Chain A
């Protein structure tokens, strides 16, 4: 335990844990996306409804849910703690500071993009996870809940913005995690960038296609 506290307290250790938890979280995005793509089946949502009904009955899913929640907490608390330490260390009072010339906006706004994605997640969980678990009645259709929610312009657009920011967060986060693990070098960087594009570009785009689909009333 003492060794872990020492590891956690060091600047490199904290970053390693933020990167590791971040990668665990995005691996869940892949599973989540494949399930959700059932929405696009041309069967009035039957396959998706069946999938949504089975999910809570699977024990492994329940365990994963608890794990995800804990990993989330850890990721957020450690990242926020790191941000605080960095704010204290910074001491920047430059009159002129051309940040844009030396670094990418996505790398400087991780706390902001992450926080908005977090707010989105809380709302998202309330609307879908909570509803399906605790408000499901006799003739409950998850597909109907999703359709009704995402076709509502305010929420649909908020969903799109959140997906944009998720991509923005991962644009920096994915490759940054590998840099922290010490794996970025001349040989691996192109591979990391390529796989990273799946996470920061393709996956958020695929998720964004759902509110698009319902907003445009398909």
Chain B
């Protein structure tokens, strides 16, 4: 397969970026999107040109490092996959593919397609944890948890923190990301002692980091590679009301 790629190039945080055109020739349909970028980078390296910078790590859809805005969608046109899991067979042979970094005030571009997502870490540090005594692990079945709650908490815990929700949100809101963690911990007994302070601190940190408000367009759910549901945002709102009013 052959493609024409329009890729965002930006030297560093402070420079003005622009789109550059590249040709991807003889690409196997089974290649992942990142492998296709590797192929372009290999050619660029041979020509002694600056390679395209993009984030990646595990390349099996669980680390949350990769994330590109491909042809107008976060992680490309396929539902429920990360950029590294996206195969080139889903694109039209000979077509043009526009590749952009996540765009949000809270995620400044560092270089080319790489953005600074440390704001997510600050949100987690603000309250996305439980405080436990160190020592030997307690007996696993000493705290009973219903199957339904365990399943739902697990679904929320599937969030890999890639930032697609922020990228696709018209307000660059981090609600889906934040609510996944709040919901996960609210569903489990271990999360209960700190539930009030958690939602208070995390929402405060999200606002401080310059993310927008949620206006319930539900675009985040559509482009989330882990299919995190917006019902977690509803639960987070409940947690917020409970913490502030009751």
Contact = CB atoms under 8 A, between A and B. Distances in A.
Contact of A15 (B103, B213, B218): B213
B234 A184 contact: yes
A98 B73 contact: yes
Interface stretch (B26-34, B124-132, B154-162, B170-178): B170-178
A179 B222 contact: no
A12 B237 contact: yes
Q: Which size class do A's interface residues fall under?
A: 35 or more
A136 to B, nearest CB: 42
Contacts, number: 146
Given A13-B244, A94-B72, A103-B222, A108 B203 contact: no
Nearest to A111: B215
B71 interface: yes
Nearest to B168: A102
Given A14-B213, A86-B213, A98-B72, A91 B103 contact: yes
B230 A179 contact: yes
Contact of B72 (A9, A10, A97): A97
A102 B104 contact: no
A121 to B, nearest CB: 22
Contacts of B234: 179, 182-185
Interface in A12-66: 12-16
Interface string A166-182: 00000010011001111
A98 B213 contact: no
A88 interface: yes
Contacts of B203: 10-12
Contact of A85 (B212, B218, B222): B212
B73 A92 contact: no
Nearest to B8: A95
Contacts of B214: 11-12, 15, 180
- Chain A interface mostly: helix
Contacts of B105: 88-91
B100 interface: yes
B206 interface: yes
From B72, B103, B204, residue with most partner A Cβ within 10 Å: B72
B168 A176 contact: no
A175 B170 CA distance: 19
Contact of A95 (B6, B207, B235, B240): B6
Nearest to B243: A12
B120 interface: no
B18 to A, nearest CB: 10
Contact of A92 (B170, B210, B237): B170
Interface of B: 6, 19, 69, 71-73, 98, 100, 103-106, 168, 170-173, 175, 203-204, 206-207, 210-219, 222-223, 230-231, 233-241, 244
7 contacts: A11-B173, A15-B215, A16-B241, A82-B215, A89-B105, A95-B6, A182-B235
Given A89-B211, A93-B103, A185-B235, 11 more contacts: A11-B206, A13-B244, A90-B171, A91-B104, A101-B222, A103-B218, A103-B222, A107-B216, A179-B237, A181-B241, A186-B231
Interface of A: 3, 7, 9-16, 82, 85-86, 88-99, 101-104, 107-108, 110, 172, 175-176, 179-186
Give 5 closest A-B pairs by Cβ, nearest first: A182-B238, A89-B212, A98-B72, A86-B171, A103-B217
